[in-house]
Each structure stands twice: as C-alpha cells, then as structure tokens.
A = this chain, B = another copy of it.
C-alpha cells in the first residue's frame, strides 16, 4: 500500500480535522496528529510549515467543503423559497452527515487564535452566500423581514444546536421524522407568516 504525497497530505488534513474537532486546536499535539495519520512527526512539516498553517488548512478544507456542498445543493433553480430552503437544509445535512468532524470543527468558536487573513475571507464568503439567499427570499415575500445576517445566524445556530444535541455529532443518528420536524421548525423560524 504505497502512499503518494497527496495521500499523506490529505491524510494529515483528515487526522488533524478529527482531532481538532474532538479536542480543540490548542488541545491537539502535533505528535497526536502524526500518529493518527500513521506518519512520522517530521513528515507533517514537509506538508505544513507549522501547526498554525495546518490549523488554517484544516479550516479552509472544512469551510470549503461546506461551501461546495451548498453550492451543489443549490445548483438547480428551486421553484419556491420553501424548496430552496429544502435544498439548503439538504446541503447542510449532507455535509454534517458526510463530514461530522468538519461540521463540529466549524462550530467551534475559538478559531480566532490562529486564523489568517485568507481563512477569514473564505468565512466571509460563506456568510455572504447565505445572506444572499435569505435576501432573495425576503424580496419574494416568503421570508420574514429583518437583518438577513441575523436570520442566517438564527437558522444556522438552530441547525448547529440540533447537531450538538446528539453524541457523537452524527445527523445520521437522527430519524428521518425528527429531521423533517426540525426542518419545518427552522423553516417556520424564517418563514413570513401570512
């Protein structure tokens, strides 16, 4: 089972993501990452110049994954705001189901200690993406008025809360009914009542 360079780099990314998600960036030691990735400590530094760089790579990997999922989920035009919300919900669900660690890691609030400028830009992009959808819904009269950023925060917060409430953070452990109930609850949070 020969390991290519890309292989090692990505295994390091995955290992770091898992450990950071579980025990915090600060609480994870480089040797632990190496061990989890089944690689020598020194090898980490061949791919990432420092722990901080690794932290940023992990952040961008996770955030980028979410962005990709959302982009894909909303690729085909939805026939109604409710449908578009369903697409988004599905994107989040798939992302959280496919990469629970990535979702958990992004939920952490302590990124400020190591994020660099580029990472912050990416984070802002996602926020803009989400705010844009909300604003379209508002113009269509389907979503309640008010600061789009606030509505985004409420909705994503709710989704995050839902995930946090289950251990380990596996959406797949939620029954389809529970998930559907949660979806309509969050839709009601956003929806403009008649």
| Chain A interface residues toward B at CB < 8 A | 23-24, 26-27, 104, 107-110, 113, 144-147, 149-162, 164-165, 178, 181-182, 185-186, 188-191, 193
* Assembly CA distance A165 to B153 (angstroms): 6
A-B contact pairs, 29 of them (CB 8 A): A23-B113, A24-B24, A104-B109, A107-B109, A108-B108, A146-B182, A147-B178, A149-B165, A150-B178, A150-B181, A150-B182, A151-B185, A154-B158, A154-B161, A154-B185, A154-B186, A155-B161, A156-B161, A157-B157, A157-B160, A157-B164, A158-B161, A160-B160, A160-B161, A185-B190, A186-B189, A188-B188, A188-B193, A189-B189
Residue of B nearest to A154 (CB): B158
* Assembly CA distance A160 to B164 (angstroms): 12
Q: Which of B113, B146, B150, B158 contacts A155 (CB 8 A)?
A: B158
Taken together, the copies of this chain in the complex come to 4
* Assembly CA distance A104 to B112 (angstroms): 13
Within the complex, what minimum Cβ distance (angstroms) separates A76 from chain B? 28
Residues of B contacting A109 in the complex (Cβ-Cβ under 8 angstroms): 104, 107-108, 164
Within the complex, what minimum Cβ distance (angstroms) separates A194 from chain B? 10
Give 8 nearest A-B pairs by CB, closest first. Answer: A157-B161, A153-B165, A26-B26, A189-B189, A158-B158, A153-B161, A26-B27, A154-B158
Q: Which of A23, A24, A145, A193 has the most CB of B within 10 A?
A: A24
Q: Which of B108, B145, B181, B193 contacts A144 (CB 8 A)?
A: B181
